[in-house]
Chains A and B, each alone.
Chain A
Amino acid sequence: MTLLRLENVAIDVDRDGQTRRLVHDASFELDRGETLAIVGESGSGKSLSALAVMGLLADGLRQAEGVIEFEGRDLSAMSPKQINQLRGSEISMIFQEPMTSLNPVRSIEHQLTEGMRLKMGLSRRGARARALELLQEVGISDPAQRLRQYPHQLSGGMRQRVMIAIALSCNPKLILADEPTTALDVTIQAQILALTAKLCRDHDVGLVLITHNLGIVARYARNVAVMYAGRVIEKASARDLYRAPKHPYTRGLLDSVPRLDLPRDRPLSPIAGAPPDPMEELTGCRFHPRCPKATDRCIAEVPAIHDVERHQVACWHPNLAQKNAREAVA
């Protein structure tokens, strides 16, 4: 059974009596033990989609359309109490800022065992034993000592390891990692990602990796969904996506990342312009103002996501992007 399935999810914001759509038609799915990367720039709706899964959208935001299914159960049909039951025990989350996502006045032991005692009904001693195991598993030395410490006594990397331990503590089936390494040193980023991916594989946990870094995706995710301005514009396996991006935006993203396998003097080509203001109405494809291949059709009609070879793309001219990518490499 599919672990997580989002189908045509739309998220609206109500502000000053107006309603604007921040996420349109987001669809993707994930199985246990798999990693799905959601890639996009700030404001593309990737974090919102994750929060919608948690049922934790901020005030004023709501899921307006679509279905979110967890193990075949429709989350939007569940009562807040039932969803609260799922949180922590079946679905957990790793946040972007390890410096601020641990409570500064609670010991590591308290924060790590609280969920286990509450959700799994472990005794204080049982939870402590498991906490020690978890800390060891996330690569923290001298766990007994660390349990007594407070977040400010740990480095950023260690805190993120603790967050991973907390996320894993109640044996969840799904972990949502919202840019888990953005706030860390480059040298630590790879370690933390490799650790997260490995633990999720080992424990048969589905991982949704939200990131704006395409470089991360290549190594750790099997499937990738690229989001732009609230829409999923391309879905493919990481391998296919890199080899032949179909959407001009994906191509633009790949072109703007420095690569070691290309001549050093190749200039990086950034995508011109800026993503649209979500509050502003835009006809047609949301990428058309920045798209070098835009035609009249792109301005007039919204492209639906459809199969193109092994990709799913929301673009009227998917093969143009691919052709150009090849030229660029050649």
Chain B
Amino acid sequence: MTDTALAPSEPLPARQRSRFRATLAHDRKAQLGLIILAVFLLAGIFAPLLAPFDPNEMTFDMMGGLSWTHPLGTDDLGRDLFSRILYGTRVSLFIGISTVAIALVAGITLGLVAGYFGGWVDMVIMRYIDLQWAFPNFIIAVYLVAVFGTGLLNVIVAISLAFVDDFARIARSMTLSLREEQYVDAARTLGFSNLRTLFVHILPNAVAPIIVQATVSVSYAILGEASLSFLGLGVDANTPTWGLILADGRGFITQAWWLGVFPGVAIMLVVLSINFIGDWLRDALDVRQSF
């Protein structure tokens, strides 16, 4: 009786690696998202080759409309908008992705540790998070840039710091419920270290909300950089970013609609594609979901 073999009842599941490919095949939105993001990435990387003009070169063709020489028109100083958006892709994408990556790693680590160990560790970490939570994110970023000065690195630090609390809160709340799961106890009975239990057994069960938060945050980071640039607290006045272009064009929106629309469309497309990709990642990482 003990040797009763159990017949295989279900078809072979795909391995984890190919789950990404398999889910992608059915996910039109994710395909579109990847294509859009790839186009922007390539545009950013090859901006010097693709841009017809120097992004900071001023001409007397000010606020010129769409034409063959200036496909997206020119701004108030006669700079080619297409070239400026191409170059702006570099900084905007870089900031959007790097800030979220930094905030994700820092926030998740804080949240996991706080939720898992509890006690005074939790107290100290969460009081800090509460403190940060009490300030609007943007105020913190403005404050940091104002104190430490403008520049790419400071902008990245300021924006990523502003997102740490969101990730920490999510990771902590997930950990609080997941650490009560029996498989976490089971991992402990196998003599795994706390760190291993946390990162190998708890974290993978918490990825879904974290990915959703990360994709939303990429959008906010790009917009955050745009807001800082808008206030003159961005990377610097000579480095075109989408936010800066948008800010510069604001005064002329009634005369030159393209100055507001095209950088806005670029931001929207990237944000949208990252959201699509995030949804796909969430599905691909959820092994319980069949496809």
A residues adjacent to B (C-beta < 8 A): 54, 56, 59, 84-89, 92-93, 95, 97, 100-107, 114-115, 118-119, 139-142, 145-146, 148-150, 152-153, 155, 157-158, 163, 166, 190-191, 194-195, 198
Contact = CB atoms under 8 A, between A and B. Distances in A.
Contact of A142 (B1, B4, B8, B286): B8
A97 B182 contact: yes
Contact of A102 (B5, B183, B196): B183
Given A101-B182, A114-B200, A142-B8, A149 B189 contact: no
B205 A141 contact: no
A319 to B, nearest CB: 40
Contacts of A166: 186, 190
B8 A119 contact: no
B116 to A, nearest CB: 12
Contact of A92 (B6, B182, B189, B288): B189
B188 interface: yes
Interface centre among B15, B190, B287 (most CB of A within 10 A): B190
Interface in B255-291: 285-288
A95 B2 contact: no
Interface range, B side:
35 or more
B12 interface: yes
Contact of B191 (A89, A101, A153): A89
Contacts of B9: 155
Nearest to A141: B5
B205 A105 contact: yes
Give the secondary structure class of B's interface.
loop
Contacts of B7: 141
Given A93-B186, A114-B200, A88 B192 contact: yes
Q: Which 7 A-B pairs have the closest CB atoms?
A: A87-B191, A88-B191, A88-B190, A141-B5, A93-B189, A103-B183, A100-B182
Interface in B105-136: 118
B205 A194 contact: no
Contact of A148 (B13, B191, B192, B204): B13
A191 B5 contact: no
Contact of B8 (A56, A118, A145, A195): A145
B183 A107 contact: no
Nearest to A59: B118
A118 B287 contact: no
Given A105-B205, A118-B192, 4 more contacts: A59-B118, A114-B192, A140-B5, A141-B6
B203 to A, nearest CB: 10
A266 B192 CA distance: 51
Contacts of A163: 186
B6 A158 contact: yes
B193 interface: yes
A191 B188 contact: no
A190 B187 CA distance: 26
Nearest to A146: B8
B34 to A, nearest CB: 24
Contact of A195 (B2, B5, B15): B2
Contacts of B118: 59
A139 B2 contact: yes
Contacts of B205: 103-105
A139 B185 contact: no
A203 B189 CA distance: 20
Given A148-B13, A150-B287, A101 B186 contact: yes
Contacts of B16: 107
A272 to B, nearest CB: 34
Interface in B166-192: 181-183, 185-192
A198 B7 CA distance: 22
Contacts of B201: 103, 106
Given A84-B193, A92-B189, A149 B200 contact: no
Contacts of B5: 139-141
Nearest to B289: A152
Contacts of A153: 10, 13
A189 to B, nearest CB: 12
B283 to A, nearest CB: 13
22 contacts: A56-B185, A56-B188, A84-B193, A86-B191, A87-B191, A92-B190, A101-B182, A101-B183, A102-B186, A104-B287, A106-B201, A114-B200, A118-B191, A148-B13, A149-B10, A150-B13, A150-B287, A155-B9, A158-B6, A194-B1, A194-B2, A195-B2
Contacts of A139: 2-6
A264 B230 CA distance: 88
Given A87-B190, A114-B190, A198 B6 contact: no
Contacts of A194: 1-2
Contacts of A119: 190-191
A155 B4 CA distance: 14
B204 A105 contact: yes
A16 to B, nearest CB: 18
A247 to B, nearest CB: 31
B1 to A, nearest CB: 6
Contacts of B2: 139, 191, 194-195, 198
Interface string B188-218: 1111110010001100110000000000000
Contact of B185 (A95, A107, A118): A95
